[in-house]
Structure formats: structure tokens, C-alpha cells
Amino acid sequence: MAAELSAPWLAPEEWQAVRLSLKVAFWAVVAALPPGLIVAHALARWRFPGRGLLNVIVHLPLVLPPVVTGYILLVVFGRRGILGAWMADTLGLVLAFRWTGAAVAAAVMAFPLMVRAIRQGIESVDPGLEQAAATLGAGRVRVWLSVTLPLMAPGLIAGIVIGFAKALGEFGATMTFVAAIPGETRTISTAIHGLLQVPGQEGAVVHLALISVVLATGALALSEVVSRKLGPGR
Amino acid sequence: MSALSIAITARLGGFDLAAEIEAPAGITALFGRSGSGKTSVVNAVAGLLRPDAGHISVGGHRLFDSAAGIDLPAPRRRVGYVFQDARLFPHMTVGRNLSYGGRHDADRIIAMLGLAQLLDRRPASLSGGERQRVALGRALMRNPGILLMDEPLAALDAGRKAEIMPYLERLRDETRLPVLYVSHDISEVARLATTLALIDRGRVTRVGPLAEVLADPSIAPQFGKRDLGAVMAGEVGGHDPIDDLSEVRFSGGVLVLPGRLGAPGSTVRVRIAAQDVILSRTRPEGLSALNVLEAEVTGIRFGEGPGAVVGLRAGAAPFLARVTRRSARVLELGEGQTVFAIIKTVSVAPGDVGS
């Protein structure tokens, strides 16, 4: 154990897993954010038929076994999947067993958590303030940018951070949908899982586990700083 | 042409709203109990509530006309809306709040409302009165065609109210800006309003010049016991510093009122609560009350219960007295009769005297 810890801090394949995890989590959040904002607004503010159904669908990845979510992704986006075959043929875009697929899986799994946090942020904004802005001549876009967005910022940041953390650690759906191909889809979580199957790799497992802790704590601390700066001065 | 013209119907949660108001420039007060639909009318003018049918125009500009398919969105209506809860943006300084809708006449408005030393503060650190002054400034700097005020003083205590009231009187007297002012506080209305619109369970039941409407016995059912009372405008005469009393000359006589009411020659309004007026068939003598007006009975209204409301006219000034049915019978009160109205001097509260 001591000998392994004194070796160079991270092996190349460990670095690879860390870099890949960050890339996957980053793009997962980027992809989930725009639809997440729209869905959070819809659930928080709009009244329309099918609102309850939308709420259920959004929350499905949270309550389904991740393996099932991964399986559904495979059925839909797999190379012979319902959309996957079409996407491969016409767009040349393949998700299954690619890092892009890992990002999609992480985005889907992070989505309900992001929507919940953003929705709470929106619900904390008094619609009366938006009305006041409208009577002062602000159109919808200006009202949203100057009133809604700054006041919902704490919820939005919480959503981004929790989504990033979830995407960083996603395992079940990722494993099912894109497996753990080194350099392509082998993220920190799937790497730890893989290493645990092999005797004598405890050192690498500890490295990766520690890195997970550092990344998650760092994201949380960053969000605290940012939301304190953006929050209404009190 | 009316400065403000409203004729709308709308189906709301609890009731149907049917409001018809034609008002000249000045402050039009919309008076009624809470839940009577006052705010809905104001929201319809602001474009925050869409009526089912009708029209709304301000200064000849049509903001809404269901027949013509006109429904200007709120941001394009050029209204200044002062909400009961101020609704300042909590993440902006006072200065940024003020200029959110424009910077029309900014220096003068900031000076008039005494906002200069507040500009860098955040709304959370302001007192209730300061917040409403900022909200008023913000609405005025938008350069609106009409000012909408929804119970702007309701959340304030008497001291803060007294602090804002003079600004509103100046606004009324110095600008030509029409104001639609919602209130359920009759002394506020009596002090500020030019035109009075009464609203009851979603219906505007009466619109007219303030003094005329308040002196009409038929409005009694819509008023609480203490709230019923007429407003008289008079000219301040002398002030007696020893007894601290002021004389005010009305067309129907002279009233002696407590306190210093203003410079001699200036105009004041005095609200006289109907229940503070006592009637006598003969000229009373040896009374402690200082004010006795000779008046003519213009009408009597018997309502439910033991009370009756008597319409009176002293000179050109109409006012009301609330007496019991029995007194009305014993005194054999009838239209055209001459009576003497006794008004207790101390019953005219300072808040009921406006300029």
C-alpha cells in the first residue's frame, strides 16, 4: 500500500478517467441546462394540460433503477435503436459506446435534480416583481434577464452544481448504455468499479475516490461563493 | 373629454366585475371594502388583467377596446403603478430601481420625494414609508400618462402616512397627471380625491365629484358607521393661539376647528362624520359645541336598523347627519325644513383635514 502511494501520484489511465469524467459531466450539464430551464419554468409557472404527466416523466430517471434508464437509452439511441439507427444513417451520429453517449446518460440522470433545484429558484421569485417590471415598460426578455434570472440565480447555481456532481458520479445508466471503454467511456465511477474487480488495485481506487471527493467539494464551495456574490444583498 | 374612461366587465374568481368610470383630471379614488374588486380595476388599466369586454382609455388614448380588438400589452401602456407592497427590486439599489422605467424629470422627482440620500441603499434596508416614496418616484420617472396607486399607504402607520400625504397633495395640485387611487380608508380619500367612485362586490355603484357623492344619503349602506361623512372645502380664517383653534369659512357659515390648519386665506377640506352631527329644530343655546350651522334638509334615508341618514345643505355645502329613526320622527324632519346642525369641534380629527 505504502509503495503504491509513493508512486507517481496518478497513473496515465487514472488521469484519462478523470479528464473524461470532467468532459462528460461538463457537456451533460451544458446539454441538460436549456431544456431544464424551460421545463422548470413550465412546471413552476405555466398551467397547461399534461403538466402532471410532464412532472412524472421528468422525475422518472430519479426513481427508475439506473440500469433500466440505461437500457431504455440503449433501446432508443443504440445503433439499432428507434432513433439511434436513424441518427447513425442520416446524421452519422452514434451515441452508444461513445463518450457522447456517456454525456447523454449523465444528462438524463442529472436532469430531474437540475429541474427540481431550478424550479425552486423560480418559485422563490415573486411574480409581482415581474409584473412591476412589465408596468415599467420592460418586455418579456428584459423582465427575465433583469428580474427573474438574478433572483432565481441561487436555485440555478444549485441546479448546475448538483447536476454536475450527479453527472460526474453517474454509474448505472452509463455502464449499461456505453460500458467502460478506456479512453472513450471509462469515467471515474466505471473505472473504480472496474478496478475493484481486479485484486491489488486498491491504491488506484483510493486515488480515484479521493479525486471524486475533491471535485465534489470544490464544486460545492464554488457554488457557495458565486451564489453569495449574486444573491440579493441583504 | 374624460382624462380616464373605463367601461369593462370581467369574470373573476368570486364574482363578476362591472366597472364604469368617467373621470376628469385629478385624483379619482376607488373606494370599497377589501375584496370588492378595486385592485382588479386597476390591474385592468395597467394591462395585468384582461377584461372580457369593454374599453379603457386614458387621456384619449385607447389602451383596451374589445370591440376594436385593441389590447395594448402592459409594457406599452405608459402607466405608473405604485403597488401596496411597493414591489421594489430587491437585488438593485434604490437608484437602479428608480431609473428602471426611465429617467424622466429625475432630478426634480428625486428632490420632491427626498430620495437623494437613499440612492445607494438596498430596498431591504428602507423603512415602509421610504419604500413607498421610492416606488412613487420609480412610477413617476417612467413619465406615465396615468398614475395607478393601489392602497399605497395601507401598510404604513399613521406617522408614515402623514409623511407621504403632502407629496400626493402636491402631485394632485402641481401636475396634470390623472391618478387612479384605490383605498378603503375614507379619511385618505376625503383628503386626496377629486372624483370618487364607489365599488361594491365588483360593481361601480356611483361616480361623481367627491363632495357631491359623500353628501348623498343613498350611499350610506356602503359605508361603515364611522366612515359616512361629507367633505366641505373652506377658507382658513384666523388662528387663536391661546385656545389653539382655527376658523374656517364655508359657504354655509364658519366652523371652529382644533389646531393650526394653514395660512389664512388657504383652502382646506374638512371631513365631517355623519354621526358627529346633532340636529335641532330650534337654534340651540348654552351648548359646549362651538359649531352650529343653519341648514336645510334635502332628503332622509331610512335604512335597516334604528338609524336614519339626513341629507343637509348649509349655503352651497351639502353634508350628512346620522340620527335615530325615532329622532327623525320626533323632530318631524322633512325635505325643505330648516334645522340647526351642531358639530362638535373636537370630532374633526387632524387626519380629516387636508389642503
pLDDT in tens, A62-98: 999 999 999 999 999 988 888 988 998 888 888 988 9
Crossing angle between the packed helical segments A188-196 and A12-45, to the nearest 10 degrees: 130
d(CA B240, CA B263): 13
Judge contact between B265 and B305, C-beta under 8 A: no
Regarding beta strands B27-31 and B195-200, do their DSSP bridges make them parallel or antiparallel, or are they unpaired?
Answer: parallel
Query: What does the pLDDT read at residue A232?
Result: 52
Inter-chain residue contact B47 with A135, CB threshold 8 Å: yes
d(CA B75, nearest CA chain A) in Å: 4
> Would you place residue B346 in the very low, low, confident or very high pLDDT band (cuts 50, 70, 90)?
low
What is the pLDDT confidence band of residue A135, given thresholds at 50, 70 and 90?
Answer: very high
Fold for domain B229-354? OB fold (Dihydrolipoamide Acetyltransferase, E2P) (2.40.50)
Judge whether B267 and B355 are in contact, CB under 8 Å: yes
The pTM is what? 0.85
Give how far Cα A206 sits from Cα of A4, A171, A214, Å. Answer: 11, 17, 12
pLDDT of B233 higher than 90: no
Task: List the 133-192 stretch of A: residues with Cβ below 8 A of B.
Answer: 133-139, 146-147, 150-151
**Domain spanning A2-230: which superfamily?**
MetI-like (1.10.3720.10)
The answer, for B96 touching chain A at a CB cutoff of 8 Å, is no
Q: pLDDT at residue B353 above 70?
A: no
Q: Where are the domains of chain B?
A: 4-218, 229-354
At residue A234, the pLDDT reads 38
Which has more pLDDT, A228 or A75?
A75
A10 pLDDT exceeds 80?
no
pLDDT band at B73 (very low <50, low <70, confident <90, very high): very high
Asked if B55 contacts B7 with a C-beta cutoff of 8 angstroms, the reply is: yes
pLDDT tens, B275-334?
A: 889 899 888 887 766 788 999 999 998 876 778 899 999 988 899 999 888 888 888 888
Q: Give me the mean pLDDT over the B21-42 stretch.
A: 91
pLDDT at B349: 54
- CB contact (8 A) between residue B142 and residue A132: no
Which residue in B87, B98, B99, B140 has the most chain A C-beta atoms within 10 A of its own C-beta, making it the best mutation to test that interface? B87
pLDDT digits (tens, 9 = 90+) for B93-107: 999 999 999 999 999
| Range of lowest pLDDT (A2-6, A56-60, A204-208) | A2-6
Q: Which residues of A touch B101 (CB under 8 A)?
A: 135-138
Q: Which residue, among A125, A126, A136, A149, would best test binding to B if mutated, counting the most B CBs under 10 Å from its CB?
A: A136
Of A132, A138, A150, the CB nearest to B87: A132
Q: pLDDT-based confidence at B19, cuts 50/70/90? A: very high
Which carries the bigger pLDDT value, residue B305 or residue B207? B207
Helical residues (DSSP H) of B59-141, grouped into ranges? 94-98, 106-112, 128-141
Parallel/antiparallel/unpaired status of strands B317-324 and B27-31: unpaired
CATH fold for the domain made of B4-218: Rossmann fold (3.40.50)
Contact check, Cβ <8 Å, B81/A135: yes
B46 closest CB neighbour out of A128, A135, A139: A135
Mean pLDDT of B177-191: 90
Spatial separation of the C-alpha atoms in residues B188 and B153, rounded to whole Å: 9
Look at B87 and A129 and tell me if their CB atoms are within 8 Å.
Answer: yes
Distance CA B177, CA B193 (A): 13
The partner residue sitting opposite A136, judged by closest CB among B47, B91, B142, is: B142
The mean pLDDT value of chain A amounts to 89
The answer to which of A1-5, A211-215, B174-178 has the lowest mean pLDDT is A1-5
Residue that is written with C-alpha cell 458565486 in the block: A226
B162 sits in which H/E element: helix B158-174
How large is the ipTM?
0.85
pLDDT digits (tens, 9 = 90+) for A177-198: 998 888 888 999 999 999 999 8
Mean pLDDT value across residues A153-168 = 92
Stretch among A5-14, B147-156, B263-272 having the lowest mean pLDDT: A5-14
Residues 6+ apart with CB under 8 A from B335: B297, B298, B299, B300
Q: A7 vs A68, which has greater pLDDT?
A: A68
- Of A1-10, A158-167, B42-51, B165-174, the one with minimum mean pLDDT is A1-10
- B247 sits in which H/E element: strand B245-250
What confidence score (pLDDT) does residue B347 get?
56
Other beta carbons within 10 angstroms of residue B181's beta carbon come to 30
Q: Are B156 and B132 in contact (CB under 8 A)?
A: yes
CA A59, A60, A61, A66 torsion: positive or negative?
positive
